[in-house]
Structure 1
Amino acid sequence: MQDTYIVYLDEFGHIGPYISADHPKHKTHPVFGLGGFVIPICEARSFSSFFFNLKQNLFSNYDIPKARKDIEKDGGNFQLSMWEKKGSKQYSVTNLKNYKNEITRSTNRIINKITDKGGFLFFVGEAKNKKIERHNSLTVYTSCLSEIIKRLDDEFKNKNAYFLIFMDDNEDSANLVKKAIYDMHQKKKYQLIEAPVQVDSKLYQTIQCADWLCSIYGKIAFYDIEPESKPDYILFKKYFGDRIASAQKRSNVRNNLPKLADEHSLRKLAEHYNKKI
């Protein structure tokens, strides 16, 4: 029997234009990407329970009681199964400095659980062109999704396996699904069973986990592209970089932007031409 895998994806970085970290308007993130993790379909249910329980253990003392109190105060009905802790809140620089042991330990547990179940981490990103007239958000998104389908199709073709994609809901879902269908049929990506399924993260522990991982991917990507803009993000590379590198497959952030020459290269170039004068 041929194996089937589920790919859980969320966004990292930001889809909008970017010029610099101190620009008054376009300052959010120099990268956009999609990422998360991949797991055999037969392991998805048990992993969902694992992540649900991990969240309860991490947040039972403060976050969960506070969320329950706030909702019930307004007359609502708190449902623990639909409560989520956003990755952007969990993986902040402040939290990592104050709760390094707890955060690194829980993150390693997540990654170990994924790999122990026969899965792997996965992400594809792209550094954005800083000439905003050349930036098109939908093109960046669909290009990233197309690259994901291509890489995963190659991966699972080698395994003689198939895959499904579950993604956090997106307002441009109709265009994204059309692009995925084109890739499936026109480009003959036969390992993808159906077009990506758009889902509400509140209902999927697995998508919430992808959101957590994307918070790390995004900060490492920012540091790799512009280390001088977010120097504190080196903490994410220090604590998670090697672990992610060892657990991922076919993942990277593409950077086709022209690079400025470093000081050493400029000095060598000047010495070369000074000798000719």
Structure 2
Amino acid sequence: MLLAYIDEIGSTGAFIHPSHRRFSDSPAFGYGGFIIPEENARELGAYFAERKKEFFRNEIPSDTDPGRWEKKGSDLLYALVAEERPQNLRLLGSLMKKLRQLNGNLFYYAQEKPTGSPKETNCGPTEFKEREETAMRETLNRIARHADFHDSNVLVMMDQINEKSRIQRLPTMYAHILGRASDYREMRRIVEPPMHIDSELSTNIQFADWICALAKRAIEYQLVQDSRYHWVPNSQPLKAARGLFTYESKLRLYQRAIDDLNHSQILNSERPLFEAIPNNPLTAENMEKLERVRAATFRDQKR
């Protein structure tokens, strides 16, 4: 059996730019993490725990169990990490190398969001909920295909959410798995709907959070012209991720004239979105205007 540990990439809400005071979180939303054979999951968790305890020994409070202490991916991979704490990147690189040794894979599925405020994109709570459900369905489909390729069943686990959200999500995920299984046999590979686990109790869920942080920053680099994360494709330790993503990993672009990004392409230094036009003469101001036109087009199509 395979075990898939996943967490969220970004948020479902509106996005304009990382510097925007309200809509700054992420240009895409989805899920990511890693998949590993069950017999190797404990070894990876133990390795992660030991490295974390060793690496952050000066940050872990003396009265706190090192195993339950968390370092969030957003704090590990902050914007200036390549200059100020390159050792964080080396740590993540070593963990991905260990995952490779244990026959595991990285995974992500994310969908680009229309750029603009909720009013400009005509998106609200209903659309945000639909965005979340669509991303989860695609994530389950792709994990199932990966498991089927390896002739294995898979158990999906994700970070704990509040009880209300869990109760709302569970019937939808269960219905999707059962409903799709009649036409797509690979869905039968998923043993149960995703189980929710408190990240404090699972080092592997904590590692999935770190992978999501990496994917989120790589996606921003690809979708935001003046991204803060130019170090992602140039980091030597992060090259450990290349070739490690599942075949099914994808960044689905929104109404673009270029192909979606797959596998390790989000880590490429080339950015097709901005390099499609040689010597792109657009200023940041004009790029923003084009994004708003695209958002207005999206709004008109929904009417």
Cα offset for 1:178?
1.6
1:210 equivalent in structure 2: 208
Cα offset for 1:48?
0.9
**SS, match of residue 214 in structure 2:** helix
CA 1:242/1:59 → structure 2, altered by over 3 Å: closer, same or farther? closer
Residue 177 (structure 1) aligned with residue 170 (structure 2):
yes
2:287 equivalent in structure 1: none
**SS, match of residue 39 in structure 1:** strand
Cα offset for 1:237?
2.4
1:39 equivalent in structure 2: 36
Cα offset for 1:7?
0.4
Unaligned runs of 5+ residues in structure 2 are 182-186, 258-272, 282-303
Cα offset for 1:203?
0.6
1:105 equivalent in structure 2: 90
1:9 equivalent in structure 2: 6
Unaligned runs of 5+ residues in structure 1 are 69-76, 268-277
2:222 equivalent in structure 1: 224
Cα offset for 1:170?
2.2
Q: Distance in 2 between matches of 1:88 and 1:264?
A: 34
CA contact (8 A) 2:89 2:238 kept: no
CA contact (8 A) 1:31 1:126 kept: yes
- Superposed, 1:261-276 pairs within 5 Å as 264=278
1:86 equivalent in structure 2: 72
Report Cα offsets for 1:194-251 as digits up to 9, x if no partner: 01001111110000011111111111101101122x2x30102221664323110121
Q: Distance in 1 between matches of 2:180 and 2:45?
A: 33
Residue 121 (structure 1) aligned with residue 117 (structure 2):
no
Give the TM-score taking structure 1 as reference length: 0.83
CA contact (8 A) 1:12 1:215 kept: yes
Q: Which amino acid counterpart does residue 203 of structure 1 have in structure 2?
A: L
Q: Which amino acid counterpart does residue 145 of structure 1 have in structure 2?
A: M
CA 1:245/1:175 → structure 2, altered by over 3 Å: closer, same or farther? farther
Q: Percent identity?
A: 22
**SS, match of residue 63 in structure 1:** coil
Residue 161 (structure 1) aligned with residue 152 (structure 2):
yes
1:57 equivalent in structure 2: 54
CA contact (8 A) 2:13 2:128 kept: yes
Q: Distance in 1 between matches of 2:142 and 2:51?
A: 31
Cα offset for 1:98?
1.7
Rg larger in structure:
1
Q: Distance in 1 between matches of 2:144 and 2:89?
A: 32
Give the TM-score taking structure 2 as reference length: 0.76
RMSD: 2.2
CA contact (8 A) 1:201 1:207 kept: yes
